[in-house]
Amino acid sequence: MIRVCALSELDDRKPFATEVDDVAVVLVRNGERVHALADECSHAAVSLSEGEVSRKGIECWLHGSCFDLETGKPNSLPATEPVDVYAVDIRDGDVFVDVTVTTN
């Protein structure tokens, strides 16, 4: 696991773009939980971190596909393939991500 940032640096339900071991990752804080997903839409290969977060997940700004924060699965078209979801650990107020462990 690699330390990415302090939990306090993340705004609730606002995408945060980062890189972990040369992998583009988007973090989304939801209260005290943090989700880490591949920062690339599986449909159009654009950055998900430029989209918005809703109750349904993170929405791609280009074509509107929305990806579940827990599973990475799209819940709206045109995307049909999930994005990777990575393991997250919060320790002593810091956010750690492991891009070698996917949870979907």
Mean pLDDT for the chain overall: 95
Query: Does 86 have pLDDT greater than 80?
Result: yes
Cβ proximity of 97 and 25 under 8 Å: yes
Residue 101 pLDDT class (50, 70, 90 cuts): confident
CA–CA separation, 79 and 33 (whole Å): 25
Give the percent of the chain with pLDDT over 90: 92
What is this structure's pTM? Answer: 0.94
Q: What is the pLDDT of residues 41-80, one digit of tens each?
A: 999 989 999 999 998 999 999 999 999 999 999 999 999 9
- Token digits for 44? 């159009």
Give the C-alpha separation, 73 to 85, whole Å. Answer: 9
Q: How far does Cα 100 stand from its chain's mean position?
A: 15
